Structure 1
Amino acid sequence: MARTAAALHILVKHEAQAKDILQQLKKGAKFQTLAKKYSTCPSGKKGGDLGEFNQGAMVPQFDKAVFKNEVLKPFIVKTRFGFHVVKVLYRT
């Protein structure tokens, strides 16, 4: 049976900006608000919501990180698109 996950992400070009966003989240900023403000991905308009997706559906680095990192704890992953600040909502 395929594993699935749901996640939010904020895509930016520079690692420094991704780290700054992560710090803002740690200080209590709302993920969806920061996604709408900073994300270069079309999902930013929806608060960074990627919805539910199957394992293997995303680019390899992103996919691996989503299925290995802690749920509900934001982290940074680099892909060919840039730097993603990711918050995994749940995995099945």
Structure 2
Amino acid sequence: MASTAAALHILVKHKNQAEDLMKELKQGAKFQTLAKKHSLCPSGKKGGDLGEFRRGQMVPQFDKACFSGEVLTPQLVKTKFGWHIVKVLYRT
């Protein structure tokens, strides 16, 4: 079982905005570009890069997505902070 993961994310307040960004990604938009433009998280300035983190370090819903979701496929996750589009880069 993986104990660390690395991910990019975009944080927005509303589900419809997150869904619109997911559509843009599917149409070929660059994840980092959308993160810089739309993300409410300070990581947005770095293209949404959260770096590497340990299992249990993030809020539970986010953690679950990072450690059980698909790698390199953006997914929607709702947490107390809002809606995240999460793209897991790798797990170790």
Assess same fold via TM > 0.5: yes
Shift of 1:2: 6.5
Paired residues in the alignment total 92
Corresponding letter in the other structure for 1:12: V
Distance in 1 of aligned mates of 2:65 and 2:40: 20
2:83 is aligned to: 83
Any residues of structure 2 matched to 1:2-81 within 5 Å, and which? 3-81=3-81
Q: Secondary structure at the match of 2:61?
A: helix
Distance in 2 of aligned mates of 1:8 and 1:23: 17
Distance in 2 of aligned mates of 1:46 and 1:8: 9
Q: Give the 4+ runs in structure 1 shifted more than 3 A.
A: none
Cα-Cα RMSD = 1.1
Corresponding letter in the other structure for 1:35: A
Distance in 2 of aligned mates of 1:2 and 1:48: 22
Distance in 2 of aligned mates of 1:29 and 1:14: 20
Q: Tell whether the 8 Å contact from 1:2 to 1:54 is kept in structure 2 after alignment.
A: no
Please list every run of 5 or more consecutive structure 1 residues that lacks an aligned counterpart in the other structure. Answer: none
Please list every run of 5 or more consecutive structure 2 residues that lacks an aligned counterpart in the other structure. Answer: none
Shift of 1:32: 0.2
